[in-house]
């Protein structure tokens, strides 16, 4: 639905209430859905959104409506002025793509699980509705489920009789927030400050959820207390349940009262501290959404930053301020900064706010590093410039004025202005409404000048308040405050040491390391005591590499000096995969570079504290770069691993996956390993490992999942694509470049929604580094018949490939 249509429907209707009855017992393919909607209307024509398997009946004010009028998901309605009741009795599809009412089977015990994901445009496959964010209404939900199942949803759940569940009426919600979670879930409960708390996960994860429950509840309690303090508004949605569900596409979804998370966030194997910080940040992010997004919702999808940028900023801030993960900003720097900067340099860059999305599908493409990481950075700048008193006073005013309603960017700017902020219109125009990042480069001749260059396609005149980190002759670092408000800003004599521009991330810009800094960083990294400064140094190297200005061999040289001294596991955990994927294949001698990185990571892992999360992250890098099947096999026998390393399921599959990529195991052995412990994790990693094997049968195994010849869950489809394209298998994979171009439309038709884009990205020929591949993919991206999510991922992947080819050309690997 387009924005103009939504505005016309909102002008016509006020939705009074929804009453939903869902019967999940009728079939494993479909469920019964009875929707009763009460609306107040002006006189006029509109439509109802409905995407059923079949319709039994439709009634308007008790009068039968011809079900044949339903076409392409729309039922036309001619309404007179006044109150009306619409009743729709339909059969709806259980989906298997992570959207709508998703039903899955746990491979560990064959039990069935259901959860609702209404985000964007999936609600009409669960119930009849007016599906747009600014037509909010209360919901009352009744669920008939198989006996032995538990049900949770937006309202507090009661179970008056076997198989029947009644969910309390909610405050007004947008359609995309509605959820039901049902199945033989394992449930853990608690309470805090009068708020009932709950956690749930599949029965096969019961022991793992129990082990994580104390940490999860502690995080939840700490975040509630801090959000109540910051916002001055109590959580308004009754209970707070956090459901960890299978085959979930996103990291999490902020449904009021019942947040859904991907269930790999229930840890069944050892994980790093960085991974725990990421989970804590996700918990805090979704809790921030209860205010930013749920209490006050954007009027239309072009203001999605009012949800995501705020939740990203507040999530990291609160995690760092009140939980045990005080170093959350360091993890954020390693894991999120480049995600946002790279997205902002793509051809598909867009403004943080007012992104021009005309419909939900277009908006979905902009849930990227710009909406999250860049928007968060800009809000961090705003809070620093305004001061917390003004920043939070404006936020509270915003909540008070639009409670349970909808708002726009201009509404929020108005609230900040009332709180005392000045100059917001100019700031918003430059930072929120103009796409692309400035680039800040050092000209170190003479007294030194910092050059500010806005993107040519998106001219801007932004002021940056930041710090330079300058090293002295002794390897010590000093911070220099700087305001950059012109194309040239004098910074003074900088010496011959390293200089890092904005390593503490006070602003938002591409700040590549200059050649002198690149040359001396390997000697200086071991002497950096500030983990945020080390993260900033890596972002400077990564920005330079992304723009073909830093040689792959120089990156590896820096990594080798750094691994031996890094103390924060977020570094190896995030930089390691980037090195393996983007950098090592383009080194002068890739095999030698990989071996040196392997030995460096292994040595650092053996020197790390036994059993520590730092040791685990270093061991993961050592496994990914190991070229010795004998060493990998010994590790599978728990021989020779760094002392204290636990050879758990996840680590076993990492080793098996590496052996598969080397061609040192066969399909039969991988099948045997799956049979040993057929969990959800094993199924996904088995798929990845099989697709990694260097033989044609393995690549066809993966390709069948891409094209839909073989049906597979969403996680396995992505794993097949990521496993397929392995460096060193160039001859075997060469024919699949043209096959990708030929089969992409077929693959898109085989999948739906979120999975369409994920499959297109996962199977993109990332290792085919040639100008011919670039030209083939560039032409393919102009195919207007491809769905928008597929074209978007194709354009981004082609841009990345183009940049990799540029690195290869400049540094001698073409």
pLDDT in tens, 615-650: 999 999 999 999 999 999 999 999 999 999 999 999
At what angle are helices 771-780 and 788-810 packed, to 10 degrees?
A: 160
Q: What is the pLDDT of residue 496?
A: 85
Look up residue 798 and give its two tokens: 């082609």
Active site residue 286: yes
Look up residue 471 and give its two tokens: 């090293």
**β pairing state of 240-245 and 258-262:** parallel
Which has the closest alpha carbon to 127: 77, 171, 93, 163? 93
DSSP 553-595: HHHHHHHHHHHTT---THHHHHHHHHIIIIIGGGSSSHHHHHH
Q: What is the pLDDT of residue 813?
A: 67
Report all structural domains of the chain as residue ranges with CATH numbers, in order of start.
1-184 (2.60.40.1730), 632-640+647-723 (no CATH), 733-814 (no CATH)
Q: Note whether 58 and 65 are within 8 A (CB).
A: yes
* 444-452: average pLDDT: 87
What's the rounded Cα separation, in Å, for the pair 517 and 471? 10
Share of the chain above pLDDT 70, in %: 99
C-alpha dihedral sign at 269, 273, 275, 277:
positive
Look up residue 702 and give its two tokens: 């993966």
pLDDT in tens, 271-293: 999 999 999 999 999 999 999 99
What's the rounded Cα separation, in Å, for the pair 409 and 52? 35
pLDDT category of residue 1 using cuts at 50, 70 and 90: confident
Please provide the average confidence, as pLDDT, over all residues in the chain.
96
The active-site residue out of 286, 505, 566, 573 is: 286
Q: Which residues of 724-760 are buried (b: 16+ CB within 10 A; e: fewer)?
A: bbbbbbeeebeebbebbbebbeebbebbbbbbbbbbb
Q: What is the pLDDT of residue 357?
A: 66
* 777-805: average pLDDT: 96
pLDDT category of residue 366 using cuts at 50, 70 and 90: confident
pLDDT in tens, 222-267: 999 999 999 999 999 999 999 999 999 999 999 999 999 999 999 9
What's the rounded Cα separation, in Å, for the pair 53 and 248? 23
Q: What is the pLDDT of residue 373?
A: 97
What residues have CB less than 8 Å from 546, skipping those under 6 apart? 338, 341, 342, 345, 803
Residue 518 burial class via C-beta count within 10 angstroms: exposed 0-12, middle 13-18, buried 19 and up: buried
* 569-585: average pLDDT: 96
Q: What are phi and psi of 797, to 5 degrees?
A: -65, -35
Share of the chain above pLDDT 90, in %: 93
pLDDT in tens, 64-98: 999 999 999 999 999 999 999 999 999 999 999 99
* 761-771: average pLDDT: 97
Task: Indicate whether 210 pLDDT > 90.
Answer: yes
Task: Indicate whether 356 pLDDT > 70.
Answer: no
Q: What is the pLDDT of residue 814?
A: 55
Q: How many CA atoms lie within 13 A of 481 on its CB side?
A: 1
pLDDT in tens, 190-201: 999 999 999 999
* 718-727: average pLDDT: 97
Q: Note whether 160 and 166 are within 8 A (CB).
A: yes
pLDDT in tens, 128-152: 999 999 999 999 999 999 999 999 9
351-355, 560-564, 576-580, 612-616: least confidently modelled range: 351-355
What's the rounded Cα separation, in Å, for the pair 215 and 236? 24
What's the rounded Cα separation, in Å, for the pair 173 and 740? 42
Look up residue 455 and give its two tokens: 């993107």
Task: Indicate whether 778 pLDDT > 70.
Answer: yes
pLDDT category of residue 355 using cuts at 50, 70 and 90: low
Q: Note whether 187 and 201 are within 8 A (CB).
A: no
E strand or H helix at 371: none
């Amino acid at each position: 639905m387009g924005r103009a249509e939504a505005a016309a429907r909102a002008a016509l209707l006020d939705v009074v209430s929804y009453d939903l009855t869902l019967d999940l017992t009728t079939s494993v393919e479909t469920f019964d859905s009875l929707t009763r909607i009460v609306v107040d209307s002006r006189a006029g024509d509109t439509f109802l959104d409905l995407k059923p398997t079949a319709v039994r009946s439709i009634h308007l004010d008790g009068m039968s409506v011809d079900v044949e009028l339903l076409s392409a998901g729309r039922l036309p309605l001619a309404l007179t002025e006044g109150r009306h009741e619409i009743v729709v009795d339909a059969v709806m599809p259980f989906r298997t793509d992570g959207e709508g009412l998703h039903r899955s089977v746990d491979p560990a015990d064959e039990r069935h699980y259901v959860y609702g994901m209404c985000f964007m445009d999936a609600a009409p496959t669960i119930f009849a509705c007016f599906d747009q964010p600014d037509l909010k209404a209360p919901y009352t939900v009744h669920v008939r489920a198989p006996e032995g199942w538990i049900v949770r949803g937006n309202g507090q759940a009661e179970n008056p009789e076997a198989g029947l569940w009644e969910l309390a009426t909610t405050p007004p919600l947008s359609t995309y927030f509605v959820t039901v979670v049902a199945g033989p879930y394992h449930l853990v409960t608690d309470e805090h400050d009068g708020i009932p708390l709950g956690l749930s996960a599949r029965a096969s994860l019961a022991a793992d959820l129990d082990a994580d429950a104390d940490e999860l509840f502690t995080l939840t309690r700490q975040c509630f207390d801090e959000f109540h303090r910051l916002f001055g508004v109590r959580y308004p949605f009754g209970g707070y349940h956090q459901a960890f569900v299978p085959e979930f596409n996103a990291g999490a979804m902020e449904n009021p009262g019942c947040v859904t998370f991907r269930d790999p966030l229930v840890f069944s194997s050892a994980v790093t501290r960085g991974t725990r910080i990421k989970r804590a940040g996700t918990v805090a992010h979704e809790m921030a959404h209860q205010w930013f997004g749920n209490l006050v919702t954007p009027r239309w999808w072009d203001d999605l930053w009012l949800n995501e940028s705020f939740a990203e900023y507040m999530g990291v801030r609160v995690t760092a301020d009140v939980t045990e993960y005080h170093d959350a900003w360091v993890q954020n720097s390693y894991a999120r900064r480049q995600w946002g900067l790279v997205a902002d340099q793509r051809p598909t860059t867009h403004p943080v706010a007012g992104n021009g999305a005309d419909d939900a599908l277009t908006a979905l493409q902009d849930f990227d590093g710009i909406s999250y990481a860049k928007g968060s950075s800009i809000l961090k700048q705003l809070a620093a410039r305004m001061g917390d008193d003004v920043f939070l006073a404006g936020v509270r005013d915003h909540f008070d004025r639009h409670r349970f309603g909808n708002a726009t960017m201009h509404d929020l700017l108005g609230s900040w202005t009332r709180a005392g902020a000045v100059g917001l219109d100019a700031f918003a125009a430059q930072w929120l409404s103009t796409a692309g990042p400035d680039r800040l480069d050092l000209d170190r001749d003479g007294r030194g000048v910092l050059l500010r260059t806005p993107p040519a396609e998106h001219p801007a005149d932004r002021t940056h308040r930041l710090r330079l980190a300058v090293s002295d002759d002794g390897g010590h670092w000093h911070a220099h405050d700087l305001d950059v408000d012109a194309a040239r800003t004098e910074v003074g004599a900088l010496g011959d040491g390293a200089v890092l521009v904005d390593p503490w991330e006070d602003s938002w810009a591409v700040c590549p390391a200059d050649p002198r800094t690149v040359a001396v960083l390997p000697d200086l990294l071991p002497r950096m005591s500030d983990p945020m400064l080390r993260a900033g140094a890596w972002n400077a190297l990564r920005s330079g590499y992304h723009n073909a200005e830093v040689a792959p061999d120089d990156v590896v040289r820096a990594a080798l000096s750094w691994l031996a001294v890094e103390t924060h596991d977020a570094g190896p955990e995030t930089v390691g995969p980037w090195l393996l994927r983007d950098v090592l294949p383009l080194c002068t001698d890739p095999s030698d570079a990989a071996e040196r990185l392997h030995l460096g990571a292994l040595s650092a892992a053996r020197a790390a504290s036994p059993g520590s999360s730092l040791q685990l992250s270093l061991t993961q890098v050592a496994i990914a770069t190991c070229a010795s099947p004998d060493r990998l096999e010994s590790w599978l026998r728990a021989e020779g691993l760094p002392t204290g390393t636990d050879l758990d399921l996840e680590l076993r599959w990492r080793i098996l996956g590496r052996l598969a990529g080397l061609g040192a195991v066969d399909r039969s052995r991988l099948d045997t390993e799956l049979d040993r412990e057929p969990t959800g994790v094993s199924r996904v990693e088995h798929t990845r490992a099989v697709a990694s094997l260097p033989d044609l049968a393995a690549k066809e195994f993966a390709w069948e999942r891409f094209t839909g010849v073989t049906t597979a869950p969403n996680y396995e489809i992505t794993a097949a694509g990521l496993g397929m394209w392995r460096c060193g298998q160039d001859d075997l994979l060469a024919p699949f470049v043209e096959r990708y171009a030929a089969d992409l439309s077929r693959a898109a038709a085989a999948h739906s929604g979120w999975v369409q884009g994920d499959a297109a990205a996962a199977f993109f020929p990332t290792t085919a580094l040639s100008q011919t591949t670039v030209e083939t993919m560039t032409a393919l991206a102009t195919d207007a018949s491809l769905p928008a999510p597929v074209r978007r991922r194709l354009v981004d992947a082609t841009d990345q490939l183009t940049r990799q080819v540029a690195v290869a050309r400049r540094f001698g690997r073409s």
